[in-house]
Amino acid sequence: MVDRLNKIRSRFDEIAKDREALQLRESDGARRPNNKLLRPPTGHMVDEASIFGRDAEIEEVINLLLFEKEKPFSVISIIGKGGLGKTTIAQLVYKDERVTRCFDLFGWVCVSEEFDVGRLTKAIIESVTKINYGLSELSSLQEKLAESVKGKTIVLVLDDVWNENQSLWDSLRVPFKEAKLVRILVTTRNKKVADVMQTTYFTPTNMPEDSCWQLFQHYAFCGTSDTMPPHLVNMGKDIMRKCGGLPLAVKSIASLLRHETDEERWIEILENDLWESYPSNDIFPALQISYSHLPAHLKPCFLLCSMYPKDYLLEKMHLIELWISHGYIEPKERCKLHDIIHDLARLNSENEHYSMEINQPLDIQKENVPQEACHLYVGGFLGYLNPVLQQNLMGLRTLSIDMRECYGDLEHECCINNTEALDLNSSMLECYEACVRDFQICNFTKFEALRVLELKGNDLTRILEIPDSITELKHLAHLDIKCPDLKTLPLSIGLLYNLQTLILDCNFLEYLPESIGSLSNLRRLIIEAVFSLNYLPHALVNFPAIKTMKAWLKVTNVAWLKDMTDLEGNLTIKGVSNLKDAQHANMRNKCKVEAFYINCHPNYENGWVDPAKSMLRIALESGISVPDANFSWLESLQPHPNLKKLGVGSYSSATVPVWMCDPCSLQSIQEILLYKCHKIQSLPFNNLHTLKHLVIEYCDGFRVLQLEQLSSQLEKLEISGCYCLELITGLGNLDMSATLEISRCEIQSLPFNNLHTLKHLVIRDCHGFRVLQLEQLSSQLEKLKIEGCFCLELITGLGNMDISATLEISRVLQLEQLSSQLEKLEISGCPCLELITGLGNLDMLATLEISRWIDSIN
């Protein structure tokens, strides 16, 4: 520390001398004026519109994938330096229609530097099947993968591969022997990797200059340089040439210059010495220049990302919380770094940001943590983490510990320490339990400068307690504990008086200590405990400054919400409370709550609510059993006019609250749900010009649904389970309606007139339809799905549909009326279907799927 202070002092002395030599005064202003932008900033998304000059490469890779179909297994490697666009080419190939049409299964896995066969096999299974089977043993994973791909054709992308070990690659590819056809697309910077995988090589060239210029214009000039000053255009071309044809370099520098009109800034980048500090065509000069021009307060935000391993998935809000906890940004309102960007962060952070994976005892000896580390991520087997925590790391400000059970790592250790006569599983369990005990008494007090602490495990970690010593970390601002088996917190957790964010992802957490009321600086409380937290400390009502509270609570009232005026996100209240408590909740003043769902059932039946989207869920344990009290209760919970989503469930009164009928009360509303509101007979909403999505589910009071008073801007209408519904009027007024879904209703006809903008029509399990007339539908319809309508005998008007439309139809007998340009037809759910006619007219039909209960078709 003394050496560092001396260096800083010397640097200040040099700056002072320069100031005197340049005769600078305190009144001198900024060197560059804040020029007015040439055009207002515009939003930008990375899509195909931002990709230039890669058509030829994409065609060549697609040909390699589709060529030699008789060859059951082949690997194509895209080889090139970082930033060349290998992943972009793979992404465009992966989504190309010609590829998706020829294969059954698709998977994308980011491999990175650690080629762990078990982890990759699991990732492939989840990517291909979209299911997490919870398997951990390699043999079980390989069996499941072999079962998933058996007899199928599959395209798999392995992005960013570094493995040069032949045996690891052979182990990974074993399950694919069961597949009918396998095409693996690999991106790598290393030709030796491609040799190991016995691949067909493809090496993209550097982007041609004209394509680079298009890309540069897209990012620097919002697409065109026609309105830009000629001298900036000329300098832009010179800067673009220095990027060496690397797309990532061009995008980085061009984004840096976006809306920049100061000629001196352009000259500074063009003549920067960094261009000469690296080999020709290297990506780092452009990235390093971009980093050097970041504002000073943003540099530590970027460098903090290098604490985590490459390809580590970061939730966006989690990253923002870390920045806030360290004081990098002021509190205001899931991502992954490109591996090249990660290298850049590591290059600039030196040893202050460090990450290490410990899966074997030898890893500790190979890679000791530098003493100057300030931000540390340690991942691996719990038993090997304890020695790391005993190192002299007093300067740590961030400590992220990713604990996980790893019986495979224990097996070797147990075999050494035990005779063959001992039961291996028993020895492994004893060894692991000893590791858990060691962790629970671990001393955190020496990390006295710590501001961020993350303790993360999984379902197999079995951490029941965490060390009491964490309560002595007086400067701790962010505490994130993910231990599914954790039941209690240290009783003295209230000593963490600087804590701003507390995140508890603990399924079996039983209660919060009363001392939590001492956390006067707490702003964000996230509790992921599932149906177990049934006690809320009374002291929590003294937290008016809490902005985010995510929890599933069983309490007796909602009055404690009164002073939480900064509460933001989504809020669910289930059950019926004391009316006075409902009034005291003061929902009218919570202007940051965007979504509000109210379930009036006294026993808080589950009903409709998405737990993943609901920030705070409150179930009321005792309440009012008189149905008529619902009206007064709901009237008392009037939300703020800023509300965007409203859901009302199990409302048992025929009279709706006044605020639901007042457009001024719902002036910002975008989505409304009515669920099991059986006595409501007509829509109470009028003139809601912002409404875009309306859902009505299981509302038996509706016999005639009049939509005339709805906004013509409605984009999606869903009606489900309204068994008494006989007629729908006013559909023609919904000019912007893009999606109409009707299911489980006894309605017999639909008036489709004037639905010129309808794109998706879904009719499911509606047994009242016998004839469905679609002549009045627009040719713009993109998807028609009719399923489970067992009484349907005839569909007319299909010939008006556009050639790109997708049909999923049940109980269709005659297809002569279909357009000859139809490309895809799916027929399902037709148990009585015996004959299909008119297929011969469908000249362009490329996909025909007939499934579900169809036993015999002539």
Which pLDDT belongs to residue 43?
A: 28
SS3 category, 684: coil
Which pLDDT belongs to residue 11?
A: 85
Q: Is the pLDDT of residue 717 over 80?
A: yes
Question: b/e map of 609-619 (b: 16 or more CB within 10 Å)?
Answer: beeeebbbbbb
The residues pairing with 598 across neighbouring beta strands, listed in sequence order, are 573, 648
Strand pairing of 727-729 and 771-773? unpaired
d(CA 670, CA 645): 6
| Residues with Cβ within 8 Å of residue 654, at least 6 apart in sequence | 679, 680, 681, 701
Q: What is the mean pLDDT of residues 13-29?
A: 67
Quote the DSSP letter at residue 369. P
> What residue type is 224 in one-letter code?
T
Measured between alpha carbons, how far is residue 700 from residues 444, 652, 746 in Å? 60, 11, 11
Smallest CA-to-CA distance from 681 within 663, 647, 664, 706 is with 706
Q: What is the mean pLDDT of residues 258-266?
A: 71
Q: What is the mean pLDDT of residues 543-566?
A: 76
Q: Give me the numbers of helices (H) and strands (E) for the chain, helices first please.
A: 23, 30
Q: Both tokens of residue 201?
A: 């090589």
Q: What confidence category does residue 479 fall into, taking pLDDT thresholds of 50, 70 and 90?
A: very high
Q: Is the pLDDT of residue 448 over 60?
A: yes
Q: Is the pLDDT of residue 749 over 90?
A: no
| 299-314 tens-digit pLDDT | 788 788 777 777 677 7
d(CA 599, CA 651): 7
d(CA 497, CA 534): 25
Smallest CA-to-CA distance from 465 within 447, 443, 483 is with 483
d(CA 478, CA 499): 6
Strand pairing of 824-828 and 806-809? parallel
Q: What confidence category does residue 134 fall into, taking pLDDT thresholds of 50, 70 and 90?
A: confident
Cβ(681)–Cβ(655) below 8 Å: no
Q: How far apart are the first and last CA of the chain?
A: 85
| Residues with Cβ within 8 Å of residue 195, at least 6 apart in sequence | none
Distance of CA 361 to the CA centre of its chain: 35
Q: Both tokens of residue 268?
A: 């500074």
E strand or H helix at 729, and its extent?
A: strand 727-729
Range with top average pLDDT, 160-164, 224-228, 548-552: 160-164
Q: Which of 437-441, 460-464, 621-625, 816-820 has the lowest mean pLDDT?
A: 621-625
Which pLDDT belongs to residue 858?
A: 39
| Residues with Cβ within 8 Å of residue 15, at least 6 apart in sequence | none
Task: Taking each helix axis as running N to C, give the angle between helix 284-292 and helix 247-256, from 0 to 180 degrees, rounded to the nearest 10.
Answer: 20
3-state secondary structure 174-218: HHHHHCCEEEEEEEECCHHHHHHCCCEEECCCCCCHHHHHHHHHH
Q: What is the mean pLDDT of residues 240-261?
A: 76
Percentage of the chain with pLDDT > 90? Answer: 6
Which pLDDT belongs to residue 487?
A: 82
Q: Is the pLDDT of residue 138 over 70?
A: yes
> What residue type is 339 in one-letter code?
D
Q: Within the chain, what is the greatest distance between any pair of CA atoms?
A: 96
Q: Is the pLDDT of residue 751 over 70?
A: yes
Q: Is the pLDDT of residue 800 over 70?
A: no
Smallest CA-to-CA distance from 651 within 616, 671, 681 is with 681
Which pLDDT belongs to residue 696?
A: 92
Q: What is the mean pLDDT of residues 537-566?
A: 74
Which pLDDT belongs to residue 856?
A: 39
SS3 category, 97: helix
Strand pairing of 548-555 and 616-620? parallel
Q: Is the pLDDT of residue 418 over 50?
A: no
Opening angle at CA 495, ends 492 and 499, nearest 5: 120
Opening angle at CA 723, ends 720 and 726, nearest 5: 100
Which pLDDT belongs to residue 853?
A: 42
3-state secondary structure 575-640: CCCCHHHHHHCCHHHCCCEEEEEEECCCCCCCCCCCCCCCCEEEEECCCCCCCCHHHHHHHHCCCC
Q: Which of 77-91, 580-594, 777-791, 804-818 has the lowest mean pLDDT?
A: 804-818
Q: What is the mean pLDDT of residues 272-286?
A: 62
- Residue of higher predicted confidence among 51 and 418: 51
In 10 A of CB 727, how many CB atoms? 14
Which pLDDT belongs to residue 769?
A: 81
E strand or H helix at 439, and its extent?
A: helix 424-440
Q: Please give the model's pTM, rounded to 2 decimal places.
A: 0.58
Which pLDDT belongs to residue 56?
A: 81
